[in-house]
Amino acid sequence: MNWNSQWPNTDNGKLAMQNAWPEQLKPPSTNPWDALSQNELLMKHVALKRAVEDAKEAELELRKYIVNRAFPQKHEGTNTLDLGNGYSLKAGVKFNYQLADNETVEKTLDAIAKIGNDGAFIAERLVSWKPNFLLTEYRKLQEEAATSAVAKAILDKVNDMLTITDAAPTLEIKEPKVKK
C-alpha cells in the first residue's frame, strides 16, 4: 500500500500485522483504493463529499419547487395530481412543529386549562413531556465517579437505563484560512 508512515494505525493491529508480513506473503489487494496515496485518498473523499452535498442541495431545491408548482394549495399529508395515462404525482407534505421554551409552554397550558369546560382536558393532551438525555451532565458524573462513591453508585444506576452504541463517524479536512 502507498500510505504515509505518519498516519497512526487505528485498525486494532490489523494493518500493523499485514505490514509485518514479508511482501510475498501479503494477501493480494482487490481494492483499487489501495493504489492511491494518502493525499489522493483524502482529496477523492473531499471531492465526493462536496458532490454529494451539492447534489442533495440541488435535489431538495428542485423537489420543493415541483411540490409548490404542482400543488399551489397543498395541504399536510399526501397530495395527489393526476398526470394522465394512469400516472400520478404524489407529494408528502409535512410541517415541523417546534414548541417555545418550557416556561412559555407551561404558562400557555395553564391559560388553556382555564378556558371553558374542556380547557383542562385539552391542555393535558396537547403536549407530552419527553425526557432528553443530557450528555454534559453524564460527562460530569463520569468525572466525579473517579473520586466519589456516591457518584459511582449513581453512574452505575444511570448505566442501567442507558444503551451506548457507535454512531457513524465523521471525516472532515479543514482547509487553511487564507490570509487577507
Domain boundary among 130, 145, 174: 130
So what's the pLDDT on residue 47?
95
The verdict on 125 and 150 lying in the same domain is no
Q: pLDDT (tens digit, 9 = 90+) per residue, 29-77? A: 789 998 899 999 999 999 999 999 999 999 999 999 999 999 999 899 9
Query: Per the domain annotation, does 172 fall within a domain?
Result: no
Whether residue 115 is contained in a domain is answered as yes
* Among 107, 91, 90, residue whose Cα is nearest residue 99: 107
Q: Containing domain of residue 111, as a range?
A: 99-130
Indicate whether 126 and 137 sit together in one domain: no
Q: Residue 144 falls within a domain, yes or no?
A: yes
Residue-wise pLDDT for 89-139, tens only, equals 999 999 888 899 999 999 999 999 999 889 999 999 999 988 888 999 999
14/32 same-domain check? yes
Report the predicted TM-score, pTM, of the whole model to 2 decimal places. Answer: 0.57
d(CA 123, CA 38): 59
Together in a domain, 113 and 139: no
Which positions ≥6 away from 33 have C-beta within 8 Å? 41, 44
Instruction: Please count the structural domains in the chain.
Output: 3
Per-residue confidence band for 22, with pLDDT thresholds at 50, 70 and 90:
low
68 and 14 part of one domain: yes
Please indicate, yes or no, whether residues 34 and 66 belong to a single structural domain of this protein: yes
Same-domain pairing of 139 and 112: no
DSSP category for residue 180: -
Domain membership of residue 136 (yes or no) is yes
Residue 23 forms part of a structural domain: yes
Flag whether 93 is in a domain.
Answer: no
Amino acid at 50: R
Regarding whether 49 and 103 lie in a shared domain, the answer is: no
Same domain (yes/no): 2, 60 = yes
